[in-house]
Amino acid sequence: MRRPRRAGEPDGVTNDNTPSRRTVLRGAALTAATIPIAGAAPPAAGSSLSRKRTPVTVGPGDPRYDSLVFRGYNRRFECRPDQIRVVGSTQDVILAVDEAVRSGRRIAVRSGGHCFENLVDDPAVRMLVDMSTMTDVRYDRRRNAFMVEAGATLGEVYQRLFLEWGVTIPGGTSADVGMGGHICGGGYGALCRVHGLTVDHLYAVEVVVVGRDGRAASVVATREASDPNHDLWWAHTGSGGGNFGIITRYWFRSPGGDPAEPLPRPPSTVLDFSLDWSWDELDRDTFVRLLRNYGEWTERNSAAGSPAAALYGEFTLTSRPTETITLSGQVATDKGARPLLDDLLKALGRGVAARPARQISTLPWLLAATKGFGGGPGPFHRVKMKSGFRRRRFTDKQMAVAHHHLTRTDYGHPYGHLFINTYGGRVSTVSPSATAMAHRDSTFLAGFLVGWDDPSEDARHLGWIREFYRDIYAGGGGVPAGADDEGAFINYPDTDMADPEQNTSATPWHALYYGDGYSRLRQVKRRWDPHDIFRHALSISSG
């Protein structure tokens, strides 16, 4: 198979040795590094400038330690490991895992650091493997696929894939999220309604696992049905991170299609939009009608192949005293973008006197993909997150409940959120059993998020979001287990799901995250992590 053309490369150019800009710069840097600097002495033996052929080990007292420990997103949780291994290769990871097993240290791994719960930042963790320097992106001719190391961020991957080859993957909208956990949890984003989930384009994954002999080794598993490691590939298409081993590399290639175009090509431009409604103009009935209009439009326009699947939106409902609620998003098509947005605007305005302030612009795709959009908890360190997949729009009664909690005068915190994102489209064309991401029948993905700073206020904010969530899902035992719900998203992990006081439904936490796939995931766990080396508060049990 010939390699894909680089962006801007004429037809017929198939020289696989054509150097990329990155290769040229790297070569220049290596050449420069071999030229002695006048008057400079070589580093002394044992100097910190001498990179050892082993993982860099950082412990307490090292000036790098706090920077690595506090790289995690959620300061509600903290680990103080004996060692942090900054790894640069698969072999580095093998050495680190072998030492952790040999010394009996609990191990965890961090790529982007965006985990919402204590799955990584657990006091029981004694060795933390930091993937942040494993960021390579390149084309693998042998597999006719794009190899991405697990420490790369989405922004780095978008830039490399697009600028060098003109392609992309349909990942998330936060450029600083790491690939390591994002992909294996079934990442979604602004292009998912057109191109599906990231895992729908995952061809292979390399994982460092620990066998029955207690030794670490790397395994490459592919989506080929004949691959004896196929079950390990399947488990990494929606089960989340930290369950079976440490992911070091991914390979991406869309199923079927043209071998010369292994991944989708994004549009050259997108229509970027942000619509803000003032809370002062939104009484309960108006609020409910506006969200009903949004939900009904999305239901009508979520079929696979619908032109409107090019429109992706995140409706962020921020608690008062914040002044506005916001619908932001993108229309990712080079033709007919404005009519699609106008159709949505018309639908939103039916029966709603309040009119939004609009910011609409046409942006180059790469700029739009890396700038991010939507709401967030603000510049805070402590957060709590919950989620729910939804087959149909939330009912008017549920949106009245949302209005109550978002405008409560006894709470008055401006950084509580409910966001309702469009979903469906191409996502729904994949069988729930084809990947470990079982949620293929949903039209919406909702998130409940609150951020704050002061540890003494933990009980107040956790109480608010738990009550909000419980009341929204009152018909499903306090969790998304009702007739129109489809469970929760493992990349927004929530340990409350496993708490019988918070989850009073008859649906166990693992069914909410994995549907009917949990028994199969347990079989994979028994095969590939027989000693339960890789575990956390919501990890898959071998039984």
Q: Could you tell me the pLDDT band of residue 55, with boundaries at 50, 70 and 90? A: confident
Identify the CA nearest to 490 among candidates 71, 117, 109.
Answer: 117
State the pLDDT at residue 36. Answer: 31
Average pLDDT of the chain is 90
State the pLDDT at residue 19. Answer: 31
State the pLDDT at residue 54. Answer: 61
Beta bridge partners of 276: 326, 357
State the pLDDT at residue 174. Answer: 93
State the pLDDT at residue 381. Answer: 85
Q: Could you tell me the pLDDT band of residue 50, with boundaries at 50, 70 and 90? A: very low
Q: Could you tell me the pLDDT band of residue 264, with boundaries at 50, 70 and 90? A: very high
Say if residue 251's pLDDT is above 80: yes
Per DSSP, helices labelled H in 61-187 are 65-69, 90-103, 154-165, 179-184
Q: Where are the domains of the chain?
A: 54-266, 269-517
What angle do the packed helices 458-472 and 396-406 form, to 10 degrees?
170
Between CA 157 and CA 174 the distance in angstroms is 12
State the pLDDT at residue 60. Answer: 97
pLDDT in tens, 152-178: 999 999 999 999 999 999 999 999 999
CB 332 within 8 A of CB 310: yes
| pLDDT above 90 as % of the chain | 85
Pairing of strands 202-210, 246-252: antiparallel
Contacts of 66 (CB under 8 A, 6+ apart): none
| pLDDT above 70 as % of the chain | 88
pLDDT in tens, 378-425: 556 899 999 999 999 999 999 999 999 999 999 999 999 999 999 999
Segment 44-56 mean pLDDT: 52
Contacts of 126 (CB under 8 A, 6+ apart): 81, 82, 83, 100, 105, 106, 107
Q: Could you tell me the pLDDT band of residue 12, with boundaries at 50, 70 and 90? A: very low
Per DSSP, helices labelled H in 396-452 are 396-406
Say if residue 439's pLDDT is above 80: yes
Say if residue 42's pLDDT is above 50: no
Omega before 321 cis (within 30°)? yes
Within its chain, how far is the Cα of 389 from the centroid?
A: 15
pLDDT in tens, 341-359: 999 999 999 999 999 999 9
pLDDT in tens, 14-32: 333 333 323 322 333 323 3
Segment 302-316 mean pLDDT: 96
Say if residue 64's pLDDT is above 70: yes
Structure-model confidence comparison of residues 42 and 367, the more confident one: 367
State the pLDDT at residue 412. Answer: 93
Segment 6-21 mean pLDDT: 38
Q: Which long-range contacts (CB under 8 A, 24 or more apart) does 92-95 make?
A: 92/54, 92/55, 93/55, 93/129, 93/208, 93/216, 93/218, 93/246, 93/248, 94/208, 94/216, 94/217, 94/218, 95/54, 95/55, 95/216
Segment 327-344 mean pLDDT: 97
Radius of gyration, CA atoms only, the chain: 24
Domain 54-266 architecture: 2-Layer Sandwich (3.30)
Q: Could you tell me the pLDDT band of residue 376, with boundaries at 50, 70 and 90? A: low
Between CA 94 and CA 210 the distance in angstroms is 9
Output the six-digit token pair for 391: 């087959």
Segment 268-283 mean pLDDT: 98
CB 168 within 8 A of CB 267: no
Say if residue 374's pLDDT is above 90: no
Q: Could you tell me the pLDDT band of residue 44, with boundaries at 50, 70 and 90? A: very low
pLDDT in tens, 200-224: 999 999 999 999 999 999 999 999 9
Segment 55-75 mean pLDDT: 93
Between CA 379 and CA 207 the distance in angstroms is 34
> Tokens 């951020």 — which residue?
451
pLDDT in tens, 521-531: 999 999 999 99
CATH numeric code, 269-517: 3.40.462.20
Say if residue 90's pLDDT is above 60: yes
State the pLDDT at residue 373. Answer: 65
